[in-house]
């Protein structure tokens, strides 16, 4: 995997993996059938991971409304930019909304500078 990717996609991948982790934790809980308390703890932890993922999905929805939709100059597809620099969802072309950063090498640290 590339070091940089589109932020919205990255968060979406994280939310998806949380669902899988949740189900894996609940599945492990089944092995502790004979210990109801341990099983319950695993079930609750698994449920919490799934709840967390829905929260993250909700957060993506909020971020998406704030992200700027642009047409990628490289592949011509619509994509969303979050922050000062971000990458195209389709072709990983670095994109910026800040004219002063245009032509400079892609660096995620630009997002942290004021």
Residues of the shown chain interacting with Zn ion in the complex, contacts defined by CB under 5 A: 72, 74-75, 88, 90-91, 93
For residue 113, the minimal CB distance to Zn ion (Å) is 25
* H or E segment to which residue 86 belongs: strand 85-87
Closer of 16 and 71 to Zn ion (Cβ): 71
Closer of 84 and 90 to Zn ion (Cβ): 90
* H or E segment to which residue 47 belongs: helix 36-66
> How many Å apart are CA 35 and CA 98, to the nearest integer?
58
For residue 71, the minimal CB distance to Zn ion (Å) is 9
Closer of 49 and 87 to Zn ion (Cβ): 87
Q: Cα 97 vs. chain centroid, distance in angstroms?
A: 21
Decide: 85 and 109 in contact? Cβ < 8 Å. no
Question: Which residue matches tokens 């990255």?
Answer: 10
Closer of 18 and 72 to Zn ion (Cβ): 72
For residue 92, the minimal CB distance to Zn ion (Å) is 7
């Amino acid at each position: 995997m590339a070091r940089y990717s589109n932020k919205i996609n990255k968060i979406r991948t994280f939310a998806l993996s949380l669902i899988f982790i949740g189900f894996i934790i609940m599945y492990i809980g089944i092995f502790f059938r004979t210990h109801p308390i341990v099983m319950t703890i695993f079930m609750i932890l698994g449920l919490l991971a799934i709840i967390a993922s829905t929260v993250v999905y909700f957060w993506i929805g909020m971020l998406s409304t704030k992200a700027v939709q642009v047409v990628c100059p490289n592949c011509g597809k619509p994509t969303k930019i979050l922050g000062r620099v971000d990458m195209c969802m389709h072709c990983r072309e670095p994109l910026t909304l800040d004219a002063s950063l245009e032509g400079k090498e892609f660096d995620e640290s630009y997002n942290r500078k004021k």
